[in-house]
Amino acid sequence: MKADVLIIGGGIQGCATAYHLARKGASVIVVEKDYSGRHASGVNAGGVRLLGRDMAEVPLSKASMEMWQTLDEDLGHDTGFRRQTLVNIAVDEMDLATAQAREAKMHDAGFTHERIIDQVELRERLPHVSPGCVGGVISDLDGYAIPFKATSAFRLAAENYGAQVIEGEDILGLRRVGDAWLAQGARHRYEAETVVNCAGAWADKVALMIGDNVPLSHAAPMLMITARMPHFAKPVVGAISRQLSFKQFENGTVLIGGGAKGFADRANNRTRLDYAKLAAACRTTAEFFPIMRKASINRMWAGLEAYMPDNLPVIGPAVNASRAFHAFGFSAHGFQMGPVVGQVLADLVTGGQCRFNLSPFRIDRFDRKVL
């Protein structure tokens, strides 16, 4: 099978890249070893979050946030996106000091989308928060989406523009011959001018086939969701220094995250849960929101996610091969960036450049470090 661009990985980054490329008229094949959205892209918490981002990510994240606001119309498919204020709670004065220090830094860099709120406003926004909490930081642009739906929306939109998504196809080998990339899949062979690595928790293997080494690790962040509850929290809830993170959906179910990690069994394509850590997440949630005590947990799960040592993604060209690009290692906060990353990669593939400074995301940024 032949195409201009071969994208490896059918998650949100791969599908968004396929969408932007196909829209520009490129012929695109996406290969996905399981099914599109099977891993991190489809099972994450769905946070569409600008608040609290690493400074290096803020420009990309801000651009992506603008794209999210009209994404459903642009793609012609439902992503489940809802704009909803995100509140990071300050449980004590020390948290507030942290928030103030960050605010000063953000203002220096010219970013004004985060705002500190006091105890009164916190209680107005979250009447059920425990009385001890002293304030927080909010971002009004934030929101959430339904991860699998959003990934599917990109896939369907890419397919509308002629991209082909081949599921259940594992890439076993990749080589550069002359001006072409030749890929050997378990089912088919592929030939493309350009290859894009969006392989998530498996991206280090693909990078190696391309010729780049990368210190990628993987882990299994865990989530729980409750049965329907009366509506008690409109904003999405986070915390400055605690592992507190939840959102209540329109159907009343409450998704609890917090970043606790289970056991990642990448070789067997599965994860296991660590109940002691989930129990701790329950205690934290109930401590700050006593109304949650009686909530019934309906499901718990974990997904396989790729992490970089500095928790920043790899986005940009390969360093040891031509006509190859990477976008992976989002370290549990890549879902929100999907729309802009797709655009960035499409720009890189078609024109060789993009409007963002990608140097913090170079794949070889750890090569130069000497211990």
Q: What is the DSSP string of 31-61?
A: EESS-TT-SHHHHS--EE--TT--GGGHHHH
Total interface residues for another protein by CB under 8 A: 37
CA neighbor of 241 nearest in space, from 46, 92, 138: 92
By CB under 8 A, name the one of 294, 355, 368, 369 that touches another protein.
294
Site stretch for another protein (CB under 8 A), options 65-73, 104-112, 189-197, 294-302: 294-302
Q: Does 175 bind another protein (CB under 8 A)?
A: no
Give the whole-angstrom CA distance, residue 261 versus residue 67. 30
Decide whether 58 or 292 has the Cβ nearer to another protein. 292
Q: Tell me the two tokens of residue 243.
A: 């592992």
Site stretch for another protein (CB under 8 A), options 84-92, 176-184, 195-203, 283-291: 283-291
Give the whole-angstrom CA distance, residue 228 versus residue 252. 4
Considering only residues 300 to 359 of the shown chain, the ones binding another protein according to CB under 8 A are 300-301
By CB under 8 A, name the one of 105, 188, 189, 270 that touches another protein.
270
What is the C-alpha end-to-end distance of the chain, expressed in Å?
A: 45
Contact 220, 302 (CB under 8 A): yes
Q: Does 279 bind another protein (CB under 8 A)?
A: yes
Q: For tokens 């399981």, name the residue.
A: 34
By CB under 8 A, name the one of 156, 183, 220, 315 that touches another protein.
156
Instruction: Beginning with the edge strand found earlier in the chain, give each strand of the sheet holding 115-118 in spatial order.
Output: 115-118, 135-139, 86-90, 236-239, 246-248, 254-256, 222-226
Q: Does 85 bind another protein (CB under 8 A)?
A: no
Q: Does 39 bind another protein (CB under 8 A)?
A: no
> How do 143-144 and 2-8 pair as beta strands?
unpaired
By CB under 8 A, name the one of 273, 327, 337, 346 that touches another protein.
273
Q: Tell me the two tokens of residue 186.
A: 């378990």
Q: In angstroms, give the least distance from the CB of 21 to another protein.
A: 19
Site stretch for another protein (CB under 8 A), options 56-64, 108-116, 149-157, 348-356: 149-157
Q: For tokens 């661009």, name the residue.
A: 5
Give the whole-angstrom CA distance, residue 57 versus residue 340. 11
By CB under 8 A, name the one of 100, 189, 275, 322 that touches another protein.
275
By CB under 8 A, name the one of 23, 39, 125, 149 that touches another protein.
149
Q: Tell me the two tokens of residue 74.
A: 């642009």
Surface-to-core class of residue 181, CB atoms within 10 Å of its CB (0-12 exposed, 13-18 middle, 19+ buried): buried
Q: In angstroms, give the least distance from the CB of 162 to another protein.
A: 15
Q: Does 368 bind another protein (CB under 8 A)?
A: no
Decide whether 149 or 218 has the Cβ nearer to another protein. 149
Residue 319's φ and ψ, nearest 5 degrees, are -100, -20
Q: In angstroms, give the least distance from the CB of 237 to another protein.
A: 14
Q: Does 283 bind another protein (CB under 8 A)?
A: yes
Binding interface with another protein (CB under 8 A): 35-38, 42-43, 148-149, 152, 155-156, 159, 165, 167, 226-227, 270, 273, 275-276, 278-280, 282-283, 285-286, 292-301
